[in-house]
Chain A
Amino acid sequence: MAAGRQARAPVFAALGDETRLLLVAKLCGGQPYSISQLTRGSGLTRQAITKHLRVLERAGLVHNVRAGRERRFRFDPRPMEGMREYLDFVSRQWDQVLSRLKSFVEA
């Protein structure tokens, strides 16, 4: 929850892009990757990959860690969990409201 205190770019927007989803799919195995590793075989330039990683970083979904001379990027699932929890919470409220509607119209 503490992660939510920082003003971040929306997680949904960050994931609303095919390239970034592919990056997340690759990174969510838990192993950190360098930009070179992520660029290889992607059909995109290093600059493009860097730009996408920045968006993911701003959303808090990716953090970079220094490994010797290079930076490696690691996936952080927490913002996604926060989002799911919120949707679950709103969803439960709807269940309650709609069960009241059901009793109301069926009475």
Chain B
Amino acid sequence: MNDRIEKRVELAAPISRVWRALTDYREFGEWFGVKLDGPFVPGQVSRGQITYPGCEHIKWEAVVQKMEHERLFSFKWPHPKSLDKADYPLDYSGEPSTLVEFRLEKTATGTLLLVTESGFDKLPDDRRLEGFRRNDGGWTEQMKNIERYVTKTS
């Protein structure tokens, strides 16, 4: 049974550019959609707030694992029991986590980025199912927001 997610992306940018986008906390925040409190340091907890529309109440927390220059960036990522607004603030410590790894390889045209998220076998099943249900709820809420907006402006 497959317990990990693997992605391969070809990027038309030099490896140094991709490395900076991944490991500079401000740049990471821009594309990931998170406002981080400070730089990534191996072995330390990175904290911040998700800025992606609809998810602004969600806290970002990860424990940085490895930063091997232009080769590997990894962090442990907690999958908390709840992402509902009602349950915040929530303590992430002790929550089961997955391992996220970004591996970089130089290619003729730019950079090959390999992303893996593993350790789903360590997550309790109810966590996964809650997560999925939560996502459904999130979309329903988004649809309502759009509806409200449309009816208000029409």
Contacts and interface: CB of A to CB of B under 8 A. Distances in A.
Chain A interface mostly helix, strand, loop or mixed?
helix
A89 B117 contact: no
B67 interface: no
A1 B129 contact: yes
Nearest to B132: A86
Nearest to A79: B125
A51 interface: no
B146 interface: no
Contacts of A97: 31-33
Interface residues of B, number: 35
Nearest to A104: B31
Contacts of A11: 1, 125
B85 interface: no
Interface in A63-107: 79-80, 82-83, 85-87, 89-91, 94-95, 97-98, 100-106
Contacts of B147: none
B121 interface: yes
A5 interface: yes
Contacts of B115: 94, 98
A15 interface: yes
Nearest to B13: A105
A74 to B, nearest CB: 19
Contacts of B5: 87, 90-91, 94
B152 interface: no
B133 A1 contact: yes
A98 B9 contact: yes
Given A4-B125, A4-B133, A5-B126, 20 more contacts: A1-B129, A4-B129, A7-B126, A10-B121, A12-B121, A13-B121, A60-B125, A79-B125, A87-B2, A87-B5, A94-B5, A101-B9, A101-B11, A101-B21, A101-B32, A104-B21, A104-B27, A104-B30, A105-B11, A105-B17
Interface of A: 1, 3-8, 10-13, 15-16, 59-60, 79-80, 82-83, 85-87, 89-91, 94-95, 97-98, 100-106
Interface of B: 1-3, 5, 7, 9, 11-13, 17-18, 21-22, 27, 30-33, 113, 115, 117, 120-126, 128-133, 135
